[in-house]
Amino acid sequence: MKVIHVVGARPNFMKAAPVLAALKTRQNVGQTLIHTGQHYDANMSDIFFQQLGMPIPDVNLEVGSGTHATQTADIMTRLEPVVTRIKPDIVLVYGDVNSTVAAALVCAKLRVRVGHVEAGLRSFDRSMPEEINRLVTDQLADLLFTPSEDGDQNLQKEGVVLEKIHRVGNVMIDSLVQLLPLAKKCSTDGFPERYALVTLHRPSNVDDSASLKGILEALLEINRRIAVVFPVHPRTRQRIAELGVPLDNLHLSEPLPYVEFLALQSRATAVLTDSGGIQEETTYLGVPCLTLRNNTERPVTVTMGTNILVGQDRQKLISELTKILDGHAKRGQAPPLWDGRAGNRIADVVCG
Q: Is 169 helix (H, G, I), strand (E, B) or coil?
A: coil
- DSSP-derived secondary structure letter, 254: P
Do the bridges between strand 195-198 and strand 270-273 make them parallel or antiparallel, or are there none, so unpaired? parallel
Amino acid letter at 105? L
Angle between helices 209-222 and 314-325 (to 10 degrees): 30
Active-site residue, 201 included? yes
How buried is residue 257: exposed, middle or buried, by Cβ count under 10 Å (0-12/13-18/19+)? middle
Q: 201, 233, 251, 328: which is the annotated catalytic residue?
A: 201
For residues 13 and 48, the answer to whether their CB atoms sit within 8 Å is: yes
**Nearest alpha carbon to residue 121 among 92, 158, 162:** 158
Helices (H), the chain: 10-24, 46-51, 68-86, 98-110, 129-140, 149-157, 171-185, 203-206, 209-222, 234-243, 258-267, 276-285, 300-303, 314-325, 342-351
How buried is residue 67: exposed, middle or buried, by Cβ count under 10 Å (0-12/13-18/19+)? exposed
Give the number of other CB atoms < 10 A from CB of residue 162.
9
How far is the C-alpha of 98 from the C-alpha of 38, rounded, in Å?
8
Backbone angles phi, psi at 289, to 5 degrees: -130, 130
Kindly list the catalytic residues: 201
